[in-house]
């Protein structure tokens, strides 16, 4: 029997809902991009002007006068390095949790407890710790200390690690054990099996985890605000610096925000194709 087509009122409602949701989610981004090209006089006027002469003044201001390029470099460095640390540590840890379950689940739960307090509760202790470490030779050599990127890398790694482990354990558990057994019999040792069979199959999970970690580090504000001043300042804190005592520089804020959204958008689009679940589809029967 042929399936009946959905009735027209429901179709209309469906599309209306889609339009509402899209408008709600895309409007801030549209406002951001439009504002970043507006001359200062055309921003914050009522009624809003949709016709104006586009200008690159806001970008010039943000990039040159406010040294925004430097903030981007800092953010990129901190976010990428902490993400790499998190991925390496958490993939090894979660593989081990998934296969051998050390501590019978207690250690895994303990790891989660480190996420159970608000970030603000630890930021002051961190401040004091990094202040002390920054004065030592080790801190100087590793770039760990107040207003140094190392402080943020350590903080972000600490913060993302529990979450990453929990996310990836389930991905590793989904990989059938027989694949590893089979690879062993095919003549590969444990490390080779991990490298050639387990990690490729866990790639979607690793990609998802990497995206989450990178986005968190990229958008993090509190730690960056407390632990850095100038040398290691990141984008989020940089944007905040346009909120001056004399007023908010809406144009440069919009330009800076637009710039900071772009890299993450590109990154997520690239990794999106790895974000398909079911790479192990077809590995075992049933």
Partner 1 sequence: MIELRNVTKRYGLSTFGVRDLNFEVRDQEFLVIYGPSGAGKSTTLKLLAGIIQPTAGDLVRDGESLLKVAPESRDMAMAFENYALYSHMSVYENLAFPLRAKKMTKQEIDERVQRTARMLQISDLLDRRPGFLSGGQRQRVALGRAIIRPASLYLLDEPIGHLDAKLRHRMRGELKAMSVDLRATIVLVTTASREALALGDRIAILREGHLQQIGTPNEVYYQPANEFVASFVGEPPMSFLGIEPTSENGQLYFNMQDCASRLRVPPQLAQHLNGETAGYRLGVRASEITVAQQQDAGHCVPGQVFIIEQMGYCNIISAKVGNGLVRVVTDSTVTAKRNETIWLSLDAEHMHLFYQHKAICHPTRFVDEGRANAAGMNAR
Which residues contact partner 1 by CB under 8 A?
176, 178-179, 181-189, 192, 197, 200-201, 203, 278-286
Structure tokens of 72?
Answer: 């981007």
- CB-based contact 205:172 (threshold 8 Å): yes
Strands (E), the chain: 243-244, 247-248
Min CB(176)–partner 1 separation in Å: 6
CB of 267 to partner 1, least distance (A): 23
Q: CB 140 → partner 1: shortest distance, Å?
A: 44
Q: Is 184 exposed, middle or buried (0-12, 13-18, 19+ CB in 10 A)?
A: middle
User: Closer CB to partner 1, residue 6 or residue 189?
Assistant: 189
Q: Which is nearer to partner 1, 264 or 283 (CB)?
A: 283
What minimum distance in Å lies between the beta carbon of 102 and partner 1?
19
Taking CA atoms, 74 is separated from 25, 53, 78, 122, in Å, by: 29, 33, 6, 22
Nearest to 33 by CA among 65, 56, 63: 56
Cβ proximity of 206 and 91 under 8 Å: yes
Q: Which is nearer to partner 1, 176 or 263 (CB)?
A: 176
Q: Nearer Cβ to partner 1, position 273 or 285? A: 285
Residue with smaller CB distance to partner 1, 48 or 105:
105
Using left for φ > 0, alpha for ψ between -120 and 50, and beta otherwise, residue 160 falls in alpha
**What are the φ/ψ torsions at residue 85 (nearest 5 degrees)?**
-55, -50
Q: Which residues pair with 244 in a beta bridge?
A: 247
Residue corresponding to tokens 């006068």: 65
d(CA 220, CA 149): 13
Q: Which is nearer to partner 1, 142 or 279 (CB)?
A: 279
Minimum CB separation from partner 1 for residue 144, in Å?
38
DSSP state of 3: P
Residue closer to partner 1 (CB basis): 125 or 278: 278
Q: What is the DSSP letter of 115?
A: T
Minimum CB distance to partner 1, residue 90 (Å): 21
Output the smallest distance, CB 75 to partner 1, in A.
33
């Amino acid at each position: 029997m042929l399936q009946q087509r959905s009735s027209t009122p429901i179709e209309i409602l469906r599309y209306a809902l889609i339009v509402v949701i899209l408008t709600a989610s895309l409007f801030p981004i549209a406002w951001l991009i439009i504002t970043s090209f507006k001359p200062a006089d055309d921003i914050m006027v009522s009624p809003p002007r949709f016709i104006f002469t586009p200008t690159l003044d806001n970008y010039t201001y943000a990039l040159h006068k406010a040294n925004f390029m430097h903030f981007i470099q800092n953010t990129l460095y901190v976010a990428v390095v902490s993400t790499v640390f998190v991925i390496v540590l958490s993939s090894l840890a979660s593989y081990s949790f998934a296969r051998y379950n050390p501590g019978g689940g207690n250690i895994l739960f303990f790891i989660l407890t480190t996420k159970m307090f608000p970030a603000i509760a630890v930021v002051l202790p961190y401040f004091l710790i990094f202040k002390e470490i920054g004065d030592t030779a080790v801190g100087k050599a590793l770039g760990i200390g107040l207003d140094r990127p190392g402080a943020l890398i350590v903080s972000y790694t600490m913060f993302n690690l529990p979450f990453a482990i929990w996310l990836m354990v389930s991905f590793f558990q989904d990989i059938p054990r027989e694949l590893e057994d089979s690879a062993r019999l095919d003549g590969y040792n444990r490390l080779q099996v991990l490298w050639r069979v387990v990690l490729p199959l866990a790639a979607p999970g690793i990609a998802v985890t990497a995206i989450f970690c990178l986005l968190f580090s990229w958008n993090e504000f509190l730690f960056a605000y407390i632990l850095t001043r100038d040398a290691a300042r990141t984008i989020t804190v940089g944007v905040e610096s346009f909120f001056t005592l004399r007023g908010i520089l809406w144009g440069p804020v919009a330009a800076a925000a637009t710039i900071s959204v772009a890299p993450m958008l590109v990154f997520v689009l690239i990794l999106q194709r790895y974000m398909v679940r079911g790479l192990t589809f077809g590995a075992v029967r049933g």
